Amino acid sequence: MASRTLFMRHGLALLAVLLCGQTWAATVVDDRGRTVEIPAAPQRVVSLLPSLTETVCALQACQRLVGTDRFSDWPASVRSLPKLGGLEDTQIERLVALKPDLVLAAGSSRAIDRLEALGLRVVALEPKNLQDTERVIQQIALALGDAAAGTALWQRMQARIDAAAARVPASVRRQKVYFEVASSPYAAGESSFVGETLTRLGMGNVVPAALGPFPKLNPEFVVRAQPDIIMGSVRAVAEMPARPGWGVLRALRDERHCGFASGPWDALVRPGPRLAEAAELLADCLVSLDRPARQNN
Amino acid sequence: MKATLDTPHTRAARAWPEATLLGLGLAALALLLGVAGLAAGSEGWSLAWLHGSQDEWSLVTAIRAPRTVGALLTGGLLGLAGAIAQGLFRNPLADPYLLGSAAGAGLGVVLVLAAGGVLGHYIGLATADWLLRVGLVGAAFVGAVVGVALTLMLARGTARPIVLLLAGVVVGIVLSSISELITLVSPEALRGKQIFMLGTTSFLGWSSCVVLGVVLVPAAALAWRYARALDALVLGEASAASLGLQLPRVRLLLVALMALATGTAVAQAGLVAFVGLVAPHIVRRLVVVTHGPLLLLSAAAGAVLLLAADVAARSVIAPQELPVGVLTAVLGGLYLLVLLRRRQLQA
Amino acid sequence: MTAPAAHAAGVSAPPAAGVSAPHAAGVSAPKAAGVSAPHPAGAPALQAEGLALKLGALRAVDGVSLALHAGQWVAIVGPNGAGKSTLLSLLAGLRKPDAGRVWLQGRDLATLPAPARARALSWLSQQGEAEGDIAAHDVVRLGRLPRHGLFGTPDAADEAAVAQALDETEATPFAARRLNELSGGERQRVLLARALAVQAPVLLLDEPTTHLDAPHQRALLRGLAARARNGAAVAAVLHDLTLALAADRVLVMDRGRIVADGSPADAALRAALVQVFEQAFSIEAVQLAGRARWAVVPHL
């Protein structure tokens, strides 16, 4: 009888250990709707999208990265990692040679099928707006074996965004912003992630949500809308006054504009954990515009 | 005996009115579309500005009017260049981008964008500022001209058209590969190049119109003067030479005209597809004329085509715009499809 | 620029572009001579000496010397690859020979400026490489380019020449149609008309009877003979040997050389012809309207 209880106790212990072992396993649902099982916390991670790289690092798992895509350049430590090509031309052989146990890629990457056929574990994620970003952070945190870190990161980000929102001076609050993402001109609308961040900061947008996230606008629209504040890359903002008909824009005349250099620009246009940094950049810009308002503002 | 009344040349004299009619028709169409262009704004169709506020008026004169005129002039340049190309190469599928001008312009744009990004990192603002002033317009124009010059050098002159064509293809491929390489490492250049490839009239101001006009008028005049050489080329190389024509020199001049016209158009409005290809086709379908009137009518047809596409691009999803190159591709592609069907039915 | 068009008025036959001895040495204005002078036995309109051209490894033309006189029309015949077209293009100054010289109306072709050459010599190419949507009468008008140049305006005399050329080739009915829409025979007639419209004293035609049906072949040859009688020097490469044997003179070529040169009435010439074509036919004499003619009868 004693041996039977002993056996049962050992059996139960074994069962408990097995069950505990099972809690390591993560089930992640990626952008393709596929469920990917990750039996153990991955130690060699390859990321093929800058925002995913940034997410991994923000989750304090930077040291687990063994390779990234060509365009991942933040934080500085990833610059020394092997670069495995861009979206279209991933270097499959090199990637496989790194023996990763998890590959993070955008859903549109052409390499996914090939990598999966070669037996690698691929999770396809691509954050396109604020909501996506949260989901992606959570999924990656889960995949890396530390769901709590994801929640913590998100909360930190929210806190930073709230802090940035608090810094926005009352004089510029609720003013209409025109954010140009590319020439000819493409603007960031309310429904884009940039637009969502601006909304969080209490700013308005000349481009309503109905026009989509990044519409190509008739330049007349911008002139008619007479935005209070203009934002864009340094080059774009510099050449705006020369555009036909844009001389009447008050924001240009009164110099109520922010031009972002290419480093900060990346943070602004990439949805990912740097959204908080983006919010801070935007807040810095708005603070700098807190000048004595003119009479007819 | 004097030629009787109903000889070919008197019949030809009667045929002239056909060409004049077409010219007048195209001019009328251009006028109509011009009005439409002045009405198509970010709030859909409206001629309210006619009796509206000062602001409306300045919006129209500063943005809408030069865009409309610019579209006409750009289309005119492309139509002219396309007709010259088709005459020079005796090929109805030739377009003005054949000799490496498109690839060259694209490379120019990409280089400036990439250099701007790189310089922004490493070198001071002064240089970047100069680059900005030279601007994408200058880079595209220089690139187009350099592309054609490279083609001419590779083909060692214009003596043999087939060699010229091949050289153009080679230069086009090499230059666009270099573009691709640069865009691989510079995503900013990639974005800019994609926009450039689609074409837009968004930022055509009055100064752009002046530039376009200053190139179009003399180019059309010179092309008219030398158009007879294209007629002679109809007979074939050797026969045209037997008529005493200095073909290589004339061809060089026509290639230079083509490069100038294409480069200017592309620099201002980006790579607009199909206008240069389709405009001469349309004219040839409607009238039987020698190259003199053909070149001028092609310019007119190109102007009308591009303006029509531009008005559509502006009004279909206002206040958003479609890139005008997309619409010319759709319109041009449809036309070629119809042409193909017609040929198939005939065969 | 040129002398008043004395020839145009009242001349229904192809205008005389006679080359008389005083002109042979220097400038000849084709329109000025309204004279249908019999050709002198003197200076030839076109003369070649020692012409040679290698195309790759092949000696396409190998030491050819000949003289074309005004008032004669010459048929050039020979098997495929004999070098007939190459010879013609050398004579027309469109190719530079490796050796030898050509004199056009007494002037060295190599140093003659192209516009002057174009006014004195009209050349019709062999293959139909003409391709375009311009109207047939505009194609024929191109024949007047040597006269008024790229920038000159055509005058009434030019129009008359065009009308006449179209008339001669019976191309007037379809003169307003596009070149590309014409049938093979119609195109050939238009291109022929273009060559005739130049009204040059020397006419070099490469296979002018291609695509032409019998009536039009006949009309062409009659036209050529008439031009020759009026003082032009005409040479035509012909494939049809029966037609060739109706010429004033026949040049037989083989492997880049001229193997026989003489009148069709000359039995030796006819024998050489049969030999060069490997006895694939025999030449029979035919009496037609009181004149001796020759017909080629293939050995089947």
Confidence at A296, pLDDT banded by 50, 70, 90: very low
At C38 the pLDDT is: 36
The tokens for B260 are 């100038």
Q: Hunting for tokens 């030449």 — which residue is that? A: C283
Confidence at C17, pLDDT banded by 50, 70, 90: very low
Domain segments of chain C: what residues?
Answer: 44-130+199-298
Q: Name the DSSP letter for residue A187.
A: E
What are the chain B neighbours of C121 within 8 Å (beta carbons)? 242
State how far the Cα of A87 lies from the Cα of A274, in Å rounded to an integer.
Answer: 21
State how far the Cα of B37 lies from the Cα of B33, in Å rounded to an integer.
Answer: 6
Q: What residues pair up with A26 in beta bridges, in sequence order?
A: A38
Please write the tens of the pLDDT for every residue from A104-156: 998 888 888 888 888 898 999 988 888 888 899 999 998 888 888 889 999 99
Whether A216 contacts chain B with CB within 8 A: yes
Q: Which of C46, C112, C150 to mutate to test the interface with B (most CBs of B within 10 A)?
A: C150
The SS3 assignment for C255 reads: coil
Q: Which domains are present in chain B?
A: 46-346 (1.10.3470.10)
Contact in structure between A106 and A125 (CB atoms under 8 Å):
yes
Is B321's CB within 8 Å of A243's CB? no
Radius of gyration of chain C (CA): 19
Neighbours of C116 (CB within 10 A): 16
Of B90, B116, B94, the C-alpha closest to B231 is B90
Chains A+B touching (3+ CB pairs under 8 Å): yes
The second-level CATH assignment, the architecture, of A169-288 is 3-Layer(aba) Sandwich (3.40)
Task: Please give the C-alpha separations between residue A173 and each of A165, A176, A205, A278, in angstroms, as whole numbers.
Answer: 10, 9, 12, 17
Of C136, A23, A158, the C-alpha closest to B8 is C136
Determine phi and psi for A168, rounding to 5 degrees.
-65, 120
Residue type at position B255:
V
State how far the Cα of B108 lies from the Cα of B104, in Å rounded to an integer.
Answer: 6
Closest-CA residue in chain C for B243?
C118
Q: Is the pTM of this model over 0.95?
A: no
Q: Name the DSSP letter for residue B62.
A: I
Closest-CA residue in chain B for A236?
B132
User: Please, what is the average pLDDT of chain C?
Assistant: 84
What are the chain A neighbours of B120 within 8 Å (beta carbons)? 234, 261-262
Confidence at C8, pLDDT banded by 50, 70, 90: very low
Whether A221 contacts chain B with CB within 8 A: yes
What is the residue-level pLDDT of chain B in tens, covering all 347 positions? Answer: 444 445 555 555 555 688 899 999 999 999 999 999 888 887 777 777 777 778 788 888 888 999 999 999 999 999 999 999 999 998 888 999 989 999 999 999 888 888 766 655 554 444 555 556 567 888 899 999 999 999 999 998 777 888 998 999 999 999 999 998 888 877 778 888 888 888 888 888 898 999 999 999 999 999 999 999 999 999 998 999 999 998 888 999 999 999 999 999 999 999 998 999 999 999 998 999 999 999 999 999 999 999 999 999 998 887 888 889 889 988 888 888 888 888 888 76
Residue C11, phi-psi category: left (phi > 0), alpha (psi -120 to 50), beta (remainder): beta
What are the chain C neighbours of B243 within 8 Å (beta carbons)? 118, 142-143, 145-146, 198
User: At a CB cut-off of 8 Å and minimum separation 6, what does C50 contact?
Assistant: C63, C64, C65, C99, C100, C101
State how far the Cα of B23 lies from the Cα of B30, in Å rounded to an integer.
Answer: 10
pLDDT at C5 over 50: no
In sign, the C-alpha dihedral spanning B129, B134, B135, B140 is negative
State how far the Cα of A12 lies from the Cα of A16, in Å rounded to an integer.
Answer: 6
Residue type at position C187:
R
In sign, the C-alpha dihedral spanning C257, C262, C264, C265 is negative
For chain B, helix (H) and strand (E) counts, in that order, are 13, 2
State how far the Cα of C264 lies from the Cα of C285, in Å rounded to an integer.
Answer: 10
Q: Hunting for tokens 């579309």 — which residue is that? A: B33
Length of chain C: 300
Is B321's CB within 8 Å of A245's CB? no
* B155: enclosing H helix or E strand: none
Is C118's CB within 8 Å of B242's CB? yes
State how far the Cα of A202 lies from the Cα of A173, in Å rounded to an integer.
Answer: 6
What are the chain B neighbours of C146 within 8 Å (beta carbons)? 243-244
Q: Name the DSSP letter for residue B237.
A: H
Task: List helix spans (H) across B40-64.
Answer: 54-59
pLDDT at C65 over 70: yes
The answer to whether the A24-145 and A169-288 domains have the same CATH topology is yes
User: At a CB cut-off of 8 Å and minimum separation 6, what does C192 contact?
Assistant: C124, C169, C205, C208, C220
State the average pLDDT over residues A215-237: 90
Q: Which CATH class is domain C44-130+199-298?
A: alpha beta
Task: List chains touching C (3+ CB pairs under 8 A).
Answer: B
What are the chain B neighbours of A216 within 8 Å (beta carbons)? 320-323
Q: How are beta strands C73-77 and C249-254 bridged, if at all?
A: parallel
The second-level CATH assignment, the architecture, of A24-145 is 3-Layer(aba) Sandwich (3.40)
What are the chain A neighbours of B128 within 8 Å (beta carbons)? 235
* C126: enclosing H helix or E strand: none
Determine phi and psi for A279, rounding to 5 degrees.
-60, -40
Closest-CA residue in chain C for B92?
C132
CB pairs under 8 A between A and B: 89
Domain segments of chain A: what residues?
Answer: 24-145, 169-288
